[in-house]
Amino acid sequence: MTDAVLRVSGATKNFGGVRALHNASLTLYAGEIHALLGENGAGKSTLLKTLAGVHRLDAGEIILDGKKFHEGSTRLAREQGVAVIYQEPNLFPDLTLAENVFAGRQKVNGKIVDWVGMQTEAQTLFDQLGVPLNPRSRARGLSIADQQIVEIAKALSLNAKVIVMDEPTAALSSKEVERLFNVARALAKRGAAVVFVSHRLDEVFELTDRLTVMRDGATVGTGITLDTTEADVIHLMVGREVSELFPKGFHPIGDVVLSVKNLAHDGLFENISFDVRAGEIVALAGLVGSGRSEIARAIFGVEKYSHGTITMLGKELAAGSPSKAMAVGIALVPEDRRLQGLFMAASIAKNSSVTILNRIKKGFLVRSKDEAEIAKTWGETLELKYADINDPVERLSGGNQQKVVLAKWLASQPALLIVDEPTRGIDVGTKAQVHKLLSDEAGKGLAVLMISSELPEVLGMADRILVMREGLMVKEFSRAEATSANVIAAATGAVTV
Partner 1 sequence: MNRFLTRLVSVREIPVLLALFIVLVVTGIANPQFVSASGAQDIFLGVAVIATLSVGMTFVITMRHIDLSVGSTAGFTAYMIGKMSAHHHGLVTSLLVALGIGLIVGAANGFLVAYLRLPSLVVTLASLWIVRGVFDQIAGGDTVTDNQVPVALGYLGRHSFANIPYIFIIAFVLILVASFFMRSVRPARDLYAMGSNPPASELAGIPVARRTFFAFLASGAVSGLGGAILLARFHSADSNSGLGLELNVIAACVVGGVAIAGGVGTPYGALIGALLLQSITQALGALGVSQFWQLAVNGTLLISAISLDRYLTLRVKPTRILRVKS
Q: Between 3 and 266, name the residue whose CB sits nearer to partner 1.
A: 266
> At its nearest, how many Å lie between partner 1 and the CB of residue 146?
11
β 193-197/162-166 pair status: parallel
- Residues 6+ away with beta carbon under 8 Å from 202: none
> At its nearest, how many Å lie between partner 1 and the CB of residue 17?
27
User: How many angstroms separate the CA atoms of 360 and 364, rounded?
Assistant: 10
User: How many angstroms separate the CA atoms of 221 and 233, rounded?
Assistant: 9
> At its nearest, how many Å lie between partner 1 and the CB of residue 87?
14
User: Which DSSP helix (H) or strand (E) runs through 182?
Assistant: helix 174-189
Spell out where 30-100 has E strands: 33-37, 59-64, 67-68, 82-85
User: Which DSSP helix (H) or strand (E) runs through 403?
Assistant: helix 398-410
DSSP state for residue 339 in the 8-state scheme: I
Q: Using the rule CB under 8 A, which residue among 141, 249, 314, 363 binds partner 1?
A: 141
Choose one: 212-220, 234-242, 287-295, 341-349; the region binding partner 1 (CB under 8 A): 287-295
Which 23-82 positions form the footprint of partner 1 (CB under 8 A)? 52, 73-75, 78
DSSP state for residue 303 in the 8-state scheme: S
Q: Between 269 and 305, name the residue whose CB sits nearer to partner 1.
A: 269
Interaction of residue 475 with partner 1, rule CB under 8 A: no
Interaction of residue 242 with partner 1, rule CB under 8 A: no
Q: Between 141 and 314, name the residue whose CB sits nearer to partner 1.
A: 141
DSSP state for residue 138 in the 8-state scheme: B
> At its nearest, how many Å lie between partner 1 and the CB of residue 268?
5
Query: DSSP letters along 211-264, please?
Result: EEEEETTEEEEEEEGGG--HHHHHHHHHSS----SS-PPP----SEEEEEEEEE
Interaction of residue 365 with partner 1, rule CB under 8 A: no
Q: Which of 297-300's residues contact partners 24+ apart within 8 Å by CB, and which partners?
A: 297/332, 298/263, 298/265, 298/269, 299/258, 299/260, 299/325, 299/330, 299/332, 299/418, 299/449, 300/325, 300/330, 300/332, 300/418
**Residue 239 · residue 44 · CB < 8 Å:** no
> At its nearest, how many Å lie between partner 1 and the CB of residue 490?
14
Which 291-330 positions form the footprint of partner 1 (CB under 8 A)? 291, 294
> At its nearest, how many Å lie between partner 1 and the CB of residue 183?
21
> At its nearest, how many Å lie between partner 1 and the CB of residue 162?
16
Q: Using the rule CB under 8 A, which residue among 144, 186, 268, 488 binds partner 1?
A: 268
Q: Using the rule CB under 8 A, which residue among 140, 185, 304, 367 binds partner 1?
A: 140
> At its nearest, how many Å lie between partner 1 and the CB of residue 118?
10
User: How many angstroms separate the CA atoms of 452 and 458, rounded?
Assistant: 6
User: How many angstroms separate the CA atoms of 291 and 268, rounded?
Assistant: 6
Q: Between 78 and 475, name the residue whose CB sits nearer to partner 1.
A: 78
Interaction of residue 111 with partner 1, rule CB under 8 A: yes
Q: Using the rule CB under 8 A, which residue among 72, 93, 191, 254 binds partner 1?
A: 93
What are the distances in angstroms from CA 283 to CA 49, 383, 467? 36, 25, 8
Choose one: 121-129, 135-143, 350-358, 402-410; the region binding partner 1 (CB under 8 A): 135-143
Q: Between 306 and 377, name the residue whose CB sits nearer to partner 1.
A: 306
> At its nearest, how many Å lie between partner 1 and the CB of residue 86?
9
Q: Using the rule CB under 8 A, which residue among 9, 106, 123, 124 binds partner 1?
A: 106
Interaction of residue 175 with partner 1, rule CB under 8 A: no
> At its nearest, how many Å lie between partner 1 and the CB of residue 193?
21
**Residue 161 · residue 30 · CB < 8 Å:** yes
Q: Between 355 and 453, name the residue whose CB sits nearer to partner 1.
A: 453
Binders of partner 1: how many residues, by CB under 8 A? 36
> At its nearest, how many Å lie between partner 1 and the CB of residue 179?
17
Q: Between 272 and 446, name the residue whose CB sits nearer to partner 1.
A: 272
**Total residue length of the chain:** 497
Choose one: 29-37, 84-92, 209-217, 234-242; the region binding partner 1 (CB under 8 A): 84-92
Spell out where 393-482 has E strands: 416-420, 447-451, 464-469, 472-478
Interaction of residue 104 with partner 1, rule CB under 8 A: yes
Q: Using the rule CB under 8 A, which residue among 120, 143, 309, 390 binds partner 1?
A: 143
Return the amino acid letter for 308. G
Q: Using the rule CB under 8 A, which residue among 56, 105, 175, 385 binds partner 1?
A: 105
> At its nearest, how many Å lie between partner 1 and the CB of residue 53?
9
Interaction of residue 290 with partner 1, rule CB under 8 A: yes
> At its nearest, how many Å lie between partner 1 and the CB of residue 358?
33
Closest CA to 260 of 302, 306, 325, 308: 308
Q: What angle do CA 92, 96, 100 make, to 5 degrees?
A: 50
| Residue ranges binding partner 1 (CB under 8 A) | 52, 73-75, 78, 90-95, 99, 103-106, 108, 111-113, 115, 138, 140-141, 143, 267-270, 289-291, 294, 470-472
